[in-house]
Structures are given as C-alpha cells and as structure tokens.
C-alpha cells in the first residue's frame, strides 16, 4: 500500500497533525527532506515531504501564499513545520489559501526530531517496495497458471484480486501509448496495452492504486494477448481462406457448415465490410478485437476491404462497434442463416458501406434507405421484383458466362447513351448495340419504350437492393475481365452475331429489337469520317489489344514500319476513309495509299485481315 499523508498522520511516533484538516491526505509521500531555502521547489520534486524549522519561511501573508503556491506547482506532497521555531507564525490567510489549493500543511511537535520523520518515510518506502515485489511475483505466477487458449477473464480476476481493483480490457479510444497511467474517474484508472490493436486495461474500484502495479498488470495482460494472437495466427489464416471461398461461391454445402462450426460459429450469421487506408492493420485490429473478447469470428481481405463473418446478436454488435472505431467506415448485412447467402450478404454489406458517411459507426443494411420511392425494404420482395424482369437474363449469364446483366445496368445508368455506356464497358459501340439487342430478346422488353425502360430500371435497383448486384460500377470491369478470361463472348460484331445465333435470336445485321436496330442503322448510315469520330472511344481499347498482338505477326511480313501497314490494311478492309500519297502496289495488284493521320477504327479480326491482304514489298 502506498505511504500517504494520511499514513504519516496515523503514525503515533512522529506526533504530527494537520493545520489544514482533510486537505491532501491522499497525497503519496516517497521521500522526506529538510530544506531551509526560501524556494524549496527548486531542489525538491514530486512526492517529497519538506521539513523546515522556519529559517526560509517568509513573514508576510502574501509571501507565505507564494511559498505554498510554489510547492504546489512542483508537486511536493506536503510541508511539515515546527511552530515554536518560526520567526513569524503562519497566517490564517496562508492556511486558507493552502486549503483552496488542496495543499496539506502539517505541524510536528518540537520534541520530535525531523530525522524520525525521514526514517518513518524511508521505512514505509522500503516496505512498499518489498510488497510491490511480492505482488509482482504473484501476478507473474498467475500468468504462468493461465493457459494460452483459456478465457482472459480468469487472468483479469486473478490480477485484480492481487492489486485490489476490478480489471477489464476495452477497446482503445486512440491517441494513447503504452506506459502512462491516467485517471478516468474518482476510483478508476486506465493504461494502454502493448498488444495487437492497442486495447486499454481499465482498473475500477481502486481508491489507492499503485501505478507501478497497474503497469505490471498491463504488461502481463499485453503479453497474454500477444501470445494468444501468435498462437491463433494459423487459425486466423485458415478462417480467412474459408471466408474468401464462401464469398467467391467456390465452397458451399455441408462441408462448409462443418468447417464454420469448427471455428465456433453457428447461425444466424452477420457479415460486415470495413474500409480503411491500411487494410492489413485493420485486419489485425479486427482479429484482436474479437479475440480479446473471446468472440468467434472469421476475417479476410477482399477487394481492398476487410470482411468479417460472426454470429448475429448483441455480442457481435458490440464487437463491430469496436471495430468501427479502428476503420474509416463499416457496413453490415442483414442476418442470414444459410452459408449459400454469403455472397449476397457481402453485396449487402458493401451497399451499406457505400451509404455510410459517419466514421466510427456501423450502418446495417436494414437501416439504410431504399434507393427508390417505389421499392420495398424487404429483401425477399426486392429479389422477387428483380427476378420477374432480370431472371431470364441472369440465367443466360450463368449458363453462358456472359455479363449482359451488367451491360443492361450500365446502359440504363448512362441514360441509354451508346457512347458513354460503351466507354464504361470498354467495348465498341457496335458491340454494345449487339448486346442490347440480345438483352431485349432475352427479357422480351423494348428499351425504346419508356414503360419497359422504367421496369428494367426498377428491376436493376431491386437487384442492387437485395444484394444480387454489386452496389457500385466497380463490378462492371471485374465482370468483363472475368468473362474474357473465361473465354466468354463479350465483344466484337461477329462474336455478337455468333452468340445471337446460338441463343436463337437475331444478330445485329438482321431485324433485332427496335432500339438496337435504329442505333445500328444510324451508325451504318454515317460517313467513314463520322464513324471514326463516333467510335473514337472504342478505338483506344481496340488499338491496345491490336498493338499487343501485332509485332509477332507483322514483323515477318513487312519492314521497317509494319504497324502502319497493318493499320492501313485494317482501315481499308473496314471501309474507313483513306488519305495520303500513293506508296506502292500489294501482292493482289491493288494500289496502296498511305494511312490517314486520323487513327483508324478497328472492327474485325486482325489475323483474318492479314491473311487476306499480304504485303509483298516494304513501305518506307
């Protein structure tokens, strides 16, 4: 127990009482020293007991008040005086001022030597050190008896019983560093732990708590948390891989249920997605928050965001609130019971994350407002509405590996603008026309009709609301890239014709849906110059793909400028505008002209054009 002013007053041997009763009696005394200087705070510091015979004690009331104020600022515990040896008695004004400051002024009997007070303080400090060592040994013994995978509450109870306080680990409010102990209430203290996510150790109900013992307890608890985190790192890795597979729909069925149960999770579940500048640190923090509380959860990183899967309930809600304090934003899905719904829950959580504009708060999917005044909030109702219009199109995409649902969404989001939608999809406008023609045939809707367009728009919003579609257009590029990697037909006029014929629908040349047919006729009726201007956005993407495939094919046919020749061949084969001087005759006897300065429009297969138009002589 710490030696305080009250402890000194309770010692009968020193025959000391207080001239300011009840003031500063809880102040801790760590050392006692005689000082007769008029400014003792220049030589003595916090926790010191100043003993004086009055040689340096001032006489004027104002000077006495300044004397007391200087010791108060220096953190000196108290001053002990011998009234019989003072040149001038201490004034009532000075005592009242000391009471106001909370500084204790003590009076020691003339017969008691000051060395006795010094010895009493020194013996108390030595006993305190011995007691602290014994308590520290008991605390580390409690750590040795604590198993790594045992609940942390048992260790906290054992440590709290030793230091005389109720201990609890809570999430850190941020901004602190391990080491310093701060007072949070009348009988409450807290310090930051040196552990993953830097939680705080709180001690409540301790009127006289030794800060050194609390720091020792914090070191022990931080050690236990770090050891547990290291032991669970492999388990966290397996859980991260499992959750990633569930989000990708690559692991479903009974085995997944058994694996999830092995991690201590049972339905109903809740899935949360967090956004943070440092994803790895956010992942470590999320693991630490759930591990510290002993709450089972799986966490992984997907698309630059932290994904969490836990049991739905009040306990998980409290943990998610703690995680939200460590990330920028956090969105949570609606509760679900089947693991097959994890992908939909992931989309719901991302939708809530996008609409969450309050840092440190968890926005749940069921709390966010519906994107339309005409759509319900119920997930099943939204899924039913989306299925009535988009069901055939989603089935078509699932069977053939296409991304027509996303194409329809982008086309509607761009207000049916062919140019802007083609730019967002990174395809040529004719490719988009072919896709929209197929979409209209599959869903039996006319996108030139306002009624049908409104139905499709509400269906798309319903699909986003229920989680069947991603909440942002970032999925457009990902779906396009996945479709191309899988070999699915995603672009090209002839590819569109081939897919349309396979689906039993009209290709872009024949009578398709009205809106696609009109757009196609408008495009084909323009001059070559206007066609190039209208297709300038598609040219960029086509040129990138074409340039990557050109060198190996063209280098064996022409030199030293094969790229110009190949581009010219494509431009001539597509019927685009030609310009420039005459440069020679090809193998087929036809006259050749230099390519125009304006970049050509590529619409077909470069390999087929090269095969049909071989170059006999190099062009310089």
- When mean pLDDT is compared across 228-232, 427-431, 452-456, 587-591, the lowest value belongs to 587-591
Record the pTM: 0.43
Q: Name the residue among 599, 616, 470 with its Cα closest to residue 547.
A: 599
CA-closest candidate to residue 571, choices 541, 537, 613 = 613
Q: Cα(297)–Cα(608) distance, rounded to whole angstroms?
A: 55
pLDDT at 373: 64
Q: How far apart are CA 20 and CA 166, in angstroms?
A: 33
- Measured between alpha carbons, how far is 319 from 25 in angstroms, rounded to an integer? 41
Tokens of 389: 């219009």
Which residues, 6+ apart, have CB-to-CB distance to 503 below 8 Å? 396, 438, 441, 442
* CA–CA gap between residue 67 and residue 57 (Å, rounded): 8
CA 609 to mean position of chain CA atoms: 51
Looking at residue 534, what is its pLDDT?
Answer: 42
Question: pLDDT above 70 covers what percent of the chain?
Answer: 72
Cis bond before residue 560 (omega within 30° of 0) = yes
Indicate the burial class of 328 (C-beta count within 10 angstroms; 0-12, 13-18, 19 or more).
middle
Residue corresponding to tokens 């049991």: 311
- Looking at residue 229, its pLDDT comes to 75
Q: How far apart are CA 106 and CA 9, in angstroms?
A: 9
What per-residue confidence (pLDDT) applies to 590?
A: 54
In the predicted model, is pLDDT for residue 474 greater than 50?
Answer: no
pLDDT of residue 69: 92
**Sign of the alpha-carbon dihedral angle for 319, 321, 325, 328:** positive
- What secondary structure does DSSP assign to 410-462, as a single string? HHHHTTT-HHHHHHHHTS-HHHHHHHHHHHHHHHT--TTSHHHHHHHHHHHHH
Task: Convert the pLDDT of each residue in 280-309 to its tens digit.
Answer: 888 888 887 887 777 888 999 888 889 999
58-93 confidence digits (pLDDT tens)? 888 899 999 999 999 999 999 998 888 877 788 899
Nearest to 421 by CA among 386, 459, 447, 396: 447
pLDDT value for 523: 43
Average pLDDT for residues 264-276, to the nearest whole number? Answer: 89
- pLDDT at position 441, please? 93
DSSP class of residue 595 equals P
Tokens linked to 245: 């597979």
Higher pLDDT, 617 or 311: 311
pLDDT band at 102 (very low <50, low <70, confident <90, very high): very high
Region of poorest pLDDT, from 235-239, 378-382, 468-472, 581-585? 581-585
Write down the pLDDT at residue 242: 87
Residue 437: what pLDDT? 93
Tell me, what's the pLDDT at 251? Answer: 58
Q: Provide the pLDDT for residue 175.
A: 58
- Mean pLDDT in the chain? 75
Residue 104 banded pLDDT, cuts 50, 70, 90: very high
| Model confidence band, residue 347 (pLDDT cutoffs 50, 70, 90) | confident
pLDDT at site 535: 46
What 3-state class would DSSP assign to 521? Answer: helix
Q: What does the DSSP assignment read for 84-131?
A: GG-SSPPPHHHHHHHHHHT--EEEE-TTS-HHHHHHHHHHHHHHHHHH
Residue 254: which pLDDT band, with cuts at 50, 70 and 90? low
> What is the percentage of the chain residues whose pLDDT exceeds 90?
18
How far apart CA 148 and CA 226 sit, in angstroms, is: 10
3-state DSSP call for residue 200?
strand
The better pLDDT of the pair 480, 102 is held by 102
CA 309/CA 236 separation, integer angstroms: 12
User: How far is residue 562's CA from residue 554's CA, in Å, rounded to a whole number?
Assistant: 6
Task: List, for residues 495-530, the tens digit of each pLDDT value.
Answer: 444 443 444 443 333 333 445 444 444 444 443 444
The SS3 call for residue 8 is helix
- What b/e readout covers 247-257, taking b as 16+ CB neighbours within 10 angstroms? beeebeeeebe
- The pLDDT score that the predictor gives to residue 280 is 85
Question: What single DSSP character describes residue 331?
Answer: E
- Please report which helix (H) or strand (E) contains residue 81, including its range: strand 78-81
In this prediction, residue 173 carries a pLDDT of 62
The per-residue pLDDT for 577 is 41
Cα 529 to Cα 418, 423, 524, 581: the distances in Å are: 18, 19, 12, 18
Of 49-63, 128-142, 356-370, 494-508, the range with the lowest mean pLDDT is: 494-508
Q: Which of 67-76, 383-392, 594-603 has the lowest mean pLDDT?
A: 594-603
pLDDT of residue 207: 67
When mean pLDDT is compared across 82-96, 374-388, 590-604, the lowest value belongs to 590-604
Average pLDDT value for residue range 226-242 = 80
Separation CA 543–CA 546 (nearest Å): 5
Rounded mean pLDDT of 404-419? 92
Which of 113, 104, 39, 117 has its CA nearest to residue 77? Answer: 104
Q: Is the pLDDT of residue 1 over 70?
A: no
Q: How many residues does the chain have?
A: 620
542-586: pLDDT as tens digits = 444 444 444 433 333 333 333 333 333 333 333 334 444 444 445
Is 531's pLDDT higher than 70? Answer: no
Task: Give the residue-averaged pLDDT of 420-444.
Answer: 93
Better-scored residue on pLDDT, 558 or 312: 312
């Amino acid at each position: 127990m710490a030696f305080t002013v009250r402890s000194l007053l309770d010692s009968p041997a020193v025959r000391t009482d207080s001239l300011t009763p009840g003031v500063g009696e809880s102040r801790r005394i760590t050392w006692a020293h005689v000082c007769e200087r008029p400014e003792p705070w220049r030589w003595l510091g916090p926790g010191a007991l100043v003993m004086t015979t009055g040689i340096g004690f001032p006489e004027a009331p104002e000077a006495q008040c300044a004397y007391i104020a200087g010791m108060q600022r220096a953190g000196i515990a108290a001053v002990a005086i011998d009234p019989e040896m003072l040149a001038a008695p201490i004034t009532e004004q000075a005592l009242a001022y000391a009471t106001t400051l909370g500084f204790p002024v003590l009076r020691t009997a003339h017969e008691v030597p000051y060395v006795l007070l010094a010895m009493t303080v020194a013996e108390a400090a030595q006993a305190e050190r011995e007691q602290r060592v014994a308590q520290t040994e008991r605390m580390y013994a409690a750590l040795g008896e604590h198993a790594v995978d045992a609940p942390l509450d048992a260790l906290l109870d054992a440590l709290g019983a030793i230091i005389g306080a109720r201990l609890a680990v809570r999430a850190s409010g941020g901004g602190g560093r391990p080491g310093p102990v701060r007072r949070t209430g009348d009988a409450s203290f807290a310090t930051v732990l040196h552990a993953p996510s830097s939680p705080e150790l709180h001690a409540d109900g301790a009127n006289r708590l030794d800060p050194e013992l609390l720091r020792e307890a914090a070191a022990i608890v931080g050690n236990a948390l770090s050891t547990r985190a290291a032991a669970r790192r492999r388990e966290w890795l397996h859980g991260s891989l499992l959750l990633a597979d569930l989000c990708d729909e690559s692991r479903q069925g009974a085995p997944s249920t058994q694996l999830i149960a092995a991690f201590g999770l049972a339905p109903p579940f809740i899935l949360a997605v967090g956004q943070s500048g440092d994803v790895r640190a956010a992942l470590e923090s999320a693991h630490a928050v759930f591990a510290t509380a002993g709450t089972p959860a799986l966490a992984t990183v997907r698309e630059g965001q932290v994904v969490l899967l836990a049991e739905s309930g009040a306990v998980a809600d409290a943990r998610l609130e703690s995680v939200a304090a460590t990330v920028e934003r956090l969105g949570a899905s609606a509760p679900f019971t089947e693991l097959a719904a994890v992908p939909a829950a992931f989309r719901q959580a991302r939708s809530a994350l996008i609409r969450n504009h309050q840092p440190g708060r968890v926005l749940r999917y069921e709390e966010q407002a519906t994107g339309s005044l005409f759509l319900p909030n119920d997930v099943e109702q939204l899924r039913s509405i989306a299925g009535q219009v988009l069901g055939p199109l989603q089935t078509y995409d699932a069977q053939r590996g296409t991304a027509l649902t996303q194409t329809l969404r982008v086309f509607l989001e761009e207000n049916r603008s062919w140019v802007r939608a083609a730019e967002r999809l990174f395809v040529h406008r004719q490719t988009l026309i072919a896709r929209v023609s197929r979409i209209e045939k599959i869903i039996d809707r006319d996108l030139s009709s306002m009624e049908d367009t409104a139905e499709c728009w509400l269906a798309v919003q319903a699909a986003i609301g229920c989680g069947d579609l991603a909440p942002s257009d970032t999925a457009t590029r990902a779906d396009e890239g996945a479709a191309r990697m899988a070999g699915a037909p995603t672009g090209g006029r002839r590819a569109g014709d081939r897919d349309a014929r396979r689906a039993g629908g009209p290709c872009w040349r024949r009578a398709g849906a009205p809106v696609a047919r009109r757009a196609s006729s408008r495009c084909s009726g323009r001059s070559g110059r206007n066609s190039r201007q209208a297709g300038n956005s598609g040219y960029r993407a086509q040129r990138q793909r074409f340039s990557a495939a050109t060198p190996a094919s063209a280098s064996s046919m022409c030199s030293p400028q094969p790229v110009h020749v190949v581009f010219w061949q494509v431009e001539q084969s597509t019927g685009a505008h030609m310009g420039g001087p005459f440069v020679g005759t090809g193998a087929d006897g036809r006259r050749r002209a230099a390519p125009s300065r304006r970049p050509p429009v590529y619409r077909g297969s470069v390999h087929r054009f090269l095969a049909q138009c071989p170059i006999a002589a190099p062009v310089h």
